Amino acid sequence: MNKKKGKKPRFVVDADLYYKDFKDKYKKKARFYSVTETIGRTSNVEDLEIFEKCVNTKKHIITQNYEHFKKIKKSKPHTNVGIVGICSQHYSKAIDQFGNVLKFYRSHADFEGKLIGVTSTKYEENK
C-alpha cells in the first residue's frame, strides 16, 4: 500500500478486553481506542452504534465479530471505515500477525474502506 508516512491509523477495538493488548504492543504504529472511550458506556452497545460512531470520528474497527461488521459495512458501502477481523481461536497469535498488517497498511488512509481478515498465520483483504 502507501509506503509514504502518513497519519497513524486509528482503531476502535470492539472488545475492550483486548484493547490493552493492541495498545501495549502497537502504540508506536497506531492509535487505539476502547469502545468505552468511543461510545461513553460499556453496556448495551450495538455493533451498528460502534460502526456509526467510527464513521463520524473517522476511525477504523478491530473486531472478533468480523462477519457482522462486514454485513454492516457492505450495507453502507459509501463509508470509509475499515474493518479488521481478528480470529478468536488463536487470538494472541492473530494479534502478532496484526503487526504484519501494520507493516503493509502504514497510514490511516490505507485502511479506508478495507475488509481485512487476520488469523494466526496470515492476513488477507476481502471483498
Residue 88: predicted pLDDT: 78
Alpha carbon distance 13, 109 (integer Å): 18
Q: Provide DSSP, 47-92.
A: HHHHHHHHHHHT-EEEES-HHHHHHHHHHSTT----EEEE-STTHH
Positive or negative, the CA dihedral 98, 91, 45, 78 is positive
Assign 5 a pLDDT band (cuts: 50, 70, 90): low
Assign 2 a pLDDT band (cuts: 50, 70, 90): very low
Task: Report the alpha-carbon angle 52-56-57, nearest 5.
Answer: 115
The pLDDT tens digits for 58-97 are 999 999 999 999 999 999 888 899 999 998 788 889 999 9
Per domain, the residue ranges of the chain are 10-126
